[in-house]
Amino acid sequence: MKKIILFVFLLLSKQLVFSQDEEKKPTKNTYDSYLVYSPFSWLEGQMPVGLGFARQFTERSEVYTELAWVTKSPFYSTEPESLSGFRAIAQYRYHINSGGFPIFGFFRRQKRFIRNVSESFIGLEGRIKTYNFTARYDFINPTAADTLHKYLYKANAFVWGGAIIFGKAFSISRNDRLQAEINIGIGGKEKTVKYKNLPAGYKPVTTIGGWGLKPPGIQESMGNPYFPCAVRIRYAL
């Protein structure tokens, strides 16, 4: 019984000392759930309109989801006409470093990545995008020497890829709830396309222009380089 009382006393004493030490340390607001908006998304070839949600569920792991309505961007003439549909994103990011970009020491113990503090970070990111939409585009049948001009088609597109990300987070409000994140990266991606109502033997007409951007459901691609670049505004919940 005496041993139990002594153990409880030592445990309470340790907790009291720990609490006093914590009170001496400066405290900061910390959050782990965010609403996310991309202010420059209107520059994308398939212009999305929507919000995302991010949650940091461990010290280094973060998931991000987004649902957006997509339409034709007015800035690219090579995009399909009457583009309309939805895009969904699921993303996982693991922060391998924070507080700077050291060339060496990636695998040594790093301090906790606190999203509301101005921090530089390096992360590994995996992303999945799905599109479901309708649009008008030109399709050609080489065998029949026939072209469908501005054909109204329906399609699903699936894109997956990964990248290493270099970024920096900023707090842009006094209570740290409003934040900004800038990141760039390099990686690879693949895309598959499934047409729902395209006649057999027809394929999309290849065009050049618009910075080489292609609609999400025009051509399949494998092993393409991926250069993500984003500016995001986050509101902590």
Lowest-confidence segment of 2-16, 38-52, 121-135 by average pLDDT: 2-16
CA distance 5 to 202: 82
Is domain 28-236 in CATH 2.40.160.20, yes or no? Answer: yes
Average pLDDT over residues 86-106: 72
Residue 146: which of 205, 192, 102, 91 has the closest Cα?
A: 205
Given pLDDT bands bounded at 50, 70 and 90, which one contains residue 22?
A: very low
- Mean of pLDDT over the chain: 77
Average pLDDT over residues 179-191: 93
CA distance 45 to 212: 10
pLDDT at 230: 92
Half-sphere CA count of 154, side-chain side, radius 13 A? 3
Lowest-confidence segment of 59-63, 87-91, 213-217, 219-223 by average pLDDT: 213-217
CA distance 67 to 179: 21
Average pLDDT over residues 195-224: 72
pLDDT at 19: 41
Torsional class of 52: left (φ above 0), alpha (ψ -120 to 50), beta (otherwise): beta
Q: What is the pLDDT of residues 136-169, one digit of tens each?
A: 888 999 998 899 988 999 999 999 999 999 999 8
